[in-house]
A = this chain, B = another copy of it.
Amino acid sequence: MTGELAKLPDIEPSLVQVTKTDSPKQVPPPSSLVFGHTFTDHMLTVPWQMLEGWGTPKIQPFSNLSLPPSATVFHYAHCLFEGLKAYRDTNGKVTLFRPDMNMKRMNNTAHRVAMPGFNGDAMVELMKQLVRLDKHWIPDQPGYSLYIRPTMIGTQPALGIAPPKEVLLFVICSPVGPYYPQGFKPVALYGTTEYVRAAPGGIGAYKLGANYAAGVAAQKAAAAKGYVQNLWLHGPDHHITEVGTMNAFVVFKQADGTTELVTPPLDGMILPGVTRDSVLTLAKEHAAGHINVPELTNKLVVSERPVTMGEVKEAARKGNLVEFFGTGTAAVISPVDRIGYLGEDVQIPTGPDGMGPVSRPLWKHLTGIQTGAIPHPWAVEV
């Protein structure tokens, strides 16, 4: 935020106005849930105006937004979002997973499109209050959680390309089931060389709506070719950047007997994923001997470095490719068993359970932390 705006009111949780719904919805049976189709009884809204700063936060019944057809968001894509989850453990305790990371990234994203920043801690407080009100929506079954979607849109009712003078920040919540209800199912990727997701100096490192509309064509083209998702490659050397809307990880067997876990560095084209950071952190702490991730090799090397499809293909040919997987909030870890690349398929090993020797222990440890089975400061009690 610029100096003159810094003096205007920030988001203030103590001012929140809570209006509970008169007609609570029936919570649907967990087995009926489809990702992102069911929403809880309440939502959080906080308006912002350029000359007045952040206004009164409201927790109110989930309801339609009424906006003029001239509102910024309908024309110039001033929209950005976050995704995080609340988990309920077997004792009924509800936690959010690393919400500070999401609020930090949301501020960075807003800054990239000249939208207002805000106090992330204040927003976490308000989200906790929203989740407490609707916590009976979190299904009481393993693998289920409440997906929380903070969103910021430009609401200025005038055309003209400029930073929006009016903004709405809102949060909606959706109960979701396990991404792989029948166990892990590795996916086949299509290596996209026809489209790019991001470029240096662009918006690839930000969770802007603009990245997602632009990505659907590549996803659709991959599906038409019989693949589940696309793999974004960049530049003449076909650097691996992201898997659909997930971060990408590759595991190589090295000549010295070590196992290398690789993900592309945050070079301005990669979304700084919270799951990416969590996987990296756990793997690095394990490799350094600070923690023990059960069943994970002790000969682990963790690298944030550029990696090309050529390197992956060559490792597959030589039998040195151990794993390939995506990471993200929705699936946590999504194993890959095949990549269509320049007319042929590169085969990726997967274990009988669909996972591999590095992703399996990391997934177990990370989901253990998320669900409360393994105590960790990343799980923040609501």
Contact = CB atoms under 8 A, between A and B. Distances in A.
A153 B112 contact: no
Given A163-B216, A209-B210, A74 B73 contact: yes
User: Which of under 10, 10 to 19, 20 to 34, or 35 or more describes the interface residues of A?
Assistant: 35 or more
A113 B77 CA distance: 13
A239 interface: no
A121 to B, nearest CB: 23
B210 A75 contact: no
B172 A69 contact: yes
Interface stretch (A183-191, A192-200, A254-262): A192-200
A319 interface: no
Contacts of A334: none
Given A64-B66, A77-B79, A160 B36 contact: yes
A70 interface: yes
A210 B161 CA distance: 12
A278 interface: no
A172 B66 CA distance: 16
A64 B69 contact: yes
Interface string A23-43: 000000000001111010001
Interface in A208-222: 208-217, 219-220
Top 5 closest A-B pairs, CB basis? A36-B159, A77-B209, A210-B210, A199-B199, A76-B212
15 contacts: A37-B159, A64-B66, A64-B67, A65-B67, A75-B81, A77-B79, A77-B210, A113-B214, A161-B215, A161-B219, A161-B245, A195-B201, A196-B200, A202-B214, A210-B213
